Structure 1
């Protein structure tokens, strides 16, 4: 593993990162994504990422959220609702529960997807894949009493 990636893993596991990152990273990602017409996500320089386009759970209004993802074979993506190890589920997970038909911006293309909340053995297998992909997820889970939500996005 590259030293830079190891450092990012260590930093991203800290409580300070959990307090600061949710305010900085999405804003930077949105700006860069907009300026590059959907071709670049700044955070994707370290982890693969998508911009999720979903409707708000209560308002139904369009919401865009830059997120790390785990691309899978067969045009599917895993999204992990870690919220950087903060106590509440991230709002985007509630939006997907209410409105599972959504879209993502993936490598400059818009893809229509349907979100599936994972449970049982399917969730357990996806969680192990997430931990292999980005070990700090284990630290995030250890900080919270809630079970971190995992979604599989399937191309529609």
Structure 2
């Protein structure tokens, strides 16, 4: 079992609370489709709830020089679902945010956990911020 599988299992067994890595209730499980393979994947991601219908996530890949695969999958297939600690499974549409909306969201991530600033310092790319907005 890899680390993501362990986190997913803990999320589901504890109603969205994950003590592994100190995530608490700041995770969502992103169900996305591989842009090339079409295979459904599940990725646990640190998320900040912006409002009742929006969760923000960041494509850090721990400061790697390239974006994570899930980010490219969202660009290709933005209509996805997430499992949340408080709302269960939610249908959302992913949208990369830019400019001031991105900067404000990024600042909140850094405020909650300084590790995000360390990830940005490790890479030359601007780490993308994605809004997951509830579909109606």
Residues 90 and 29 of structure 1: is their aligned pair in 2 closer, same or farther, counting only changes over 3 Å? same
More helix by share: 1
Choose which of 28, 38, 49 in structure 1 pairs with 2:6: 28
Q: Which residue is equivalent to 1:130?
A: 109
Q: TM-score, normalised by structure 1?
A: 0.76
CA distance in structure 2 between the aligned counterparts of 1:44 and 1:130, rounded to whole angstroms? 16
Residues 134 and 104 of structure 1: is their aligned pair in 2 closer, same or farther, counting only changes over 3 Å? same
Q: Which runs of no fewer than 5 residues in structure 2 stay unpaired?
A: none
Aligned length: 132
Give the Å deviation of 1:44: 7.7
1:94-137 CA distances to partner (integer Å, 9 max, x unpaired)? 11111110000012711000001011121111111221122211
Q: Which runs of no fewer than 5 residues in structure 1 stay unpaired?
A: 1-22
* CA RMSD of superposed structures (Å): 2.1
Counterpart contact for 1:29–1:41, Cα < 8 Å:
no
Q: Which residue is equivalent to 1:140?
A: 119
Residues 45 and 137 of structure 1: is their aligned pair in 2 closer, same or farther, counting only changes over 3 Å? closer
CA distance in structure 1 between the aligned counterparts of 2:7 and 2:120, rounded to whole angstroms? 24
SS state at 1:69 partner: strand
Choose which of 61, 77, 83 in structure 2 pairs with 1:105: 83
Matches within 5 A, 1:1-156: 25-33=3-11, 36=13, 39-42=15-18, 43=20, 45-47=22-24, 48-107=26-85, 109-156=88-135
CA distance in structure 2 between the aligned counterparts of 1:33 and 1:128, rounded to whole angstroms? 26
Larger Rg: 1
Q: TM-score, normalised by structure 2?
A: 0.86
More strand by share: 2
Give the Å deviation of 1:39: 2.4
